[in-house]
Each structure stands twice: as structure tokens, then as C-alpha cells.
């Protein structure tokens, strides 16, 4: 088992949900973790004394450049930043909402990859987690067209860059959850009842997978992993 003690970690979307769960689990495993997100006050509220905080909108390349100027080059990156919208059916989807979803979910991941890879190439080692979705493997009407497009994009980007960078010792894992109990549910067109939330995948489930994969030998990679609630179909 590979020790994570002292590993430098960057988690995007670290203020809640999967990002915060992953940050806390990696910190508990001995990593030095920085969380980033657009709302600095929210980040500081959840960070406590154990997590470093930097405000950053990953869809903004100047913000990403400033982020990487402030932190040590990460050895592990967890890209968990993501949004969805309430008006997600194509008949009501606006160009502005489509652009916003793509900018954060897909272009944001590209920006973080582009900034992370040079130091990893130099070190010949690095691990990147892309929190995608089963909607990034097959489109589900519940997720909406914009979200599906963005998640297909990040899944393809992770796969393509992973194939290019494996010779540099860089491993990229796309984790594709089904329905997951995070604040993104607040953007559902119809409110989700608590009893359904209880049956979903939870951030702690994803965090456990991330720590387990990070502890594997650097000579192996898990390119893609699907995790879903028992009740949810996956065809």
C-alpha cells in the first residue's frame, strides 16, 4: 500500500459535497490538502484548521494561474467542481446556462489539467481524479443535455490525456457516480425527498474510493470507475 503521508493535494469544488468529503479523507490519510472554490467565506467555514484555502473560479484562467502561483505543485488533484441548472430540458435551456455549465464542468477541468501537468511531467509522477457522472457515459434525461454534454466532455478529456501522459507516470481516474446526495440536488427541477437522498451514493463513498485508489502502486491505474445506488439502472 502506497503511503499518502505528506502528499500535496489540490481539491476543486472543495467547499461541499464530494470535494469536501475527499479533502477530509485525504487529510486524514496524511496529505497536505488545499481546497479551492468560488466562495472563500464558504471554504473557510468548512476548512477548520486542517485544510488550506484558496478562492478560485476554475473556469477563469487568470484565477487558475493565480491559484497555482500560491500553492506548491500538487501531486494529487481531485477535480470535484461542478454545477447543474434547474431549467435543463432543451426546450427551456438557454445559451447562457449551457455556456455556464460547460465553462465550469468541462473547461474548468481542462484549465486545472493544463496547470497541473507540467510539474507532474517533470516529476514523472502524478494522480488526477476527475469526478464525472454516469451521465458522462450515457445521457439521462434527468441530468439534462448541458450537464450530460459537459460530463461526456470531461470523461473524454480524462481518457485522452490519461493515454497521452501514462508514459510520464501520470494516472487519471474518472469516477462516474449515479445519483449522489450533494448540494447539486438543490438545482433539481423537482425537490428530492429525504428518504430518496438516504438511498443515494454519499460523498463519503466517493472519498473512500479516492483514498483507496491513491494508495495503490504508482505502476497501476484505474481509468474509470462507476458507483451508483442499488435502485438506479445502469445500462
For the record, the C-alpha cell of 10 comes out as: 489540490
CA–CA dist 162, 97 (Å, integer): 29
Do residues 38 and 18 lie in contact, with contact meaning Cβ atoms separated by under 8 Å?
no
For the chain, give the number of residues.
235
Rg for the chain, CA atoms, rounded: 17
Catalytic residue among 68, 109, 129, 147: 147
Q: How many CB atoms lie within 10 A of CB 22?
A: 31
Catalytic site includes residue 140? no
Distance of CA 225 to the CA centre of its chain: 13
Calculate the alpha carbon distances from 117 to 44, 124, 187 in Å. 27, 10, 32
Q: By C-alpha distance, which of 199, 200, 197, 227 is closest to 212? A: 227
CA–CA dist 49, 61 (Å, integer): 28
26's enclosing H/E stretch is: helix 17-28
Q: Which are the catalytic amino acids?
A: 147
Amino acid at each position: 500500500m502506497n503511503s499518502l503521508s505528506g502528499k500535496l493535494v489540490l481539491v476543486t469544488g472543495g467547499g461541499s459535497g464530494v470535494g469536501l468529503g475527499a479533502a477530509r479523507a485525504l487529510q486524514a490519510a496524511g496529505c497536505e490538502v488545499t481546497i479551492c472554490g468560488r466562495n472563500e467565506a464558504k471554504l473557510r467555514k468548512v476548512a477548520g484548521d486542517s485544510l488550506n484555502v484558496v478562492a478560485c473560479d476554475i473556469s477563469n484562467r487568470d484565477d487558475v494561474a493565480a491559484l497555482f502561483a500560491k500553492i506548491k505543485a500538487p501531486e494529487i488533484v481531485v477535480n470535484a467542481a461542478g454545477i447543474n441548472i434547474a431549467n435543463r430540458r432543451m426546450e427551456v435551456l438557454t445559451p447562457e446556462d449551457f455556456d455556464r455549465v460547460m465553462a465550469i464542468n468541462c473547461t474548468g477541468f481542462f484549465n486545472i489539467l493544463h496547470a497541473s501537468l507540467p510539474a507532474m511531467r517533470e516529476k514523472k509522477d502524478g494522480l488526477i481524479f476527475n469526478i464525472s457522472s454516469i451521465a458522462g457515459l450515457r445521457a439521462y434525461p434527468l441530468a439534462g443535455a448541458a450537464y450530460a454534454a459537459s460530463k461526456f466532455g470531461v470523461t473524454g478529456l480524462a481518457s485522452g490525456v490519461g493515454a497521452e501522459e501514462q508514459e510520464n507516470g501520470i494516472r487519471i481516474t474518472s469516477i462516474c457516480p449515479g445519483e449522489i446526495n450533494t448540494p447539486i440536488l438543490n438545482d433539481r427541477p423537482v425537490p428530492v425527498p429525504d428518504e430518496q437522498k438516504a438511498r443515494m451514493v454519499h460523498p463519503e463513498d466517493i472519498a473512500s474510493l479516492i483514498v483507496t485508489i491513491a494508495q495503490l502502486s504508482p505502476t497501476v491505474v484505474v481509468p474509470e470507475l462507476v458507483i451508483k445506488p442499488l435502485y438506479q439502472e445502469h445500462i
